[in-house]
Amino acid sequence: MQNRWLPLFRSFEAYLKLTRGYSEHTLKAYRSDLEKLPAYLDLRGWSPGVGEIECLHLDGFLQHLAELGLAPRSQARLVSALKTFFAFLLDERVIDRDPTELLRAPKLGRKIPEVLSYEEIRALLAAIDLSTDHGLRDRALLETLYACGLRVSEATGLRLSDLYLDQEFLRVTGKGNKERLVPIGPAAVKHLEIYMRHVRDQLPEIKDENTVFLNRRGGALSRVSVFTAVKKYAAEAGIDKRVSPHTFRHSFATHLIEGGADLRAVQELLGHESILTTEIYTHLDTDFLRETILSFHPANRG
């Protein structure tokens, strides 16, 4: 790699971490993507300064990676990393023009997420054995995932100080350490209170004092444990779909939209920065769209 890029990458990484609150996982992904650019320039025998990079260089870079078999979704992430990096350099006055202005990411197919019906959600929850401490904890966790549309990392990261159960609200810390308040329904509140009173508070040792969901050793519950539990209960409920903790989030959003919730309200609840993300995550089935048209379009009124 051309050494002149290293200080720029380090400054950019510090900016993402300190100013935008990016996770270590995201920083690692950005670093890996950006390091491919000077490696490509070296391969071509080119050594332009960062301020001399043209869109033509970047187009060739993307074409090279596509020929090597880089998937369109990975290409799109790379374009996002490049745009963010050069926008940072422009703001810092390291460069005086943005070479990514005309750079276009490949078009991605619309990925429809797997969604459970309300009946399937209830069947999955009913498959949990409530005669065990393990089951009481899992029921509280999955009720919370579905009631609030949380990411699995948001659920496992919940703190006791985030719970306002008397007011039926949670304070959730999402991506970029952004906080939002999310309502939580009575069913989830009931199971949370049962879990905390009869399981969490009875643990012989609690290592993470402020963490809500704990394993049997008193430590914070891992995301892997949640994935494993969800797949187990889905199988026991006879659900023949690819189910993960994120399926509860997709189902939460879709059920709200199908029930008539405003898309921007759902955007706020999910913690999405862009309404476009919410539209992708909250697909509506064609029967519901057809019924909406028939019910509300003035031309269909008798």
Residues acting as catalytic residues:
151, 175, 246, 249, 272, 281
Dist CA 101 CA 86 (whole Å): 9
Residue given tokens 């009124």 in the structure block: 301
Asked if 108 contacts 145 with a C-beta cutoff of 8 angstroms, the reply is no
Asked if 131 contacts 148 with a C-beta cutoff of 8 angstroms, the reply is no
Q: Which two tokens stand for residue 101?
A: 């202005």
Q: Which two tokens stand for residue 85?
A: 């990096």
Helix, strand, coil share of the chain (percent; to 5): 60, 5, 35
Q: Which two tokens stand for residue 150?
A: 């949380």
Asked if 48 contacts 57 with a C-beta cutoff of 8 angstroms, the reply is yes
Burial track 240-263 (b if 16+ CB lie within 10 A, e otherwise) = eeebbbbbbbbbbbbbbbbeeeee
Dihedral sign from CA coordinates of 11, 12, 13, 17:
positive
Torsions phi, psi for 256 (to 5 deg): -65, -45
Neighbours of 37 (CB within 10 A): 23
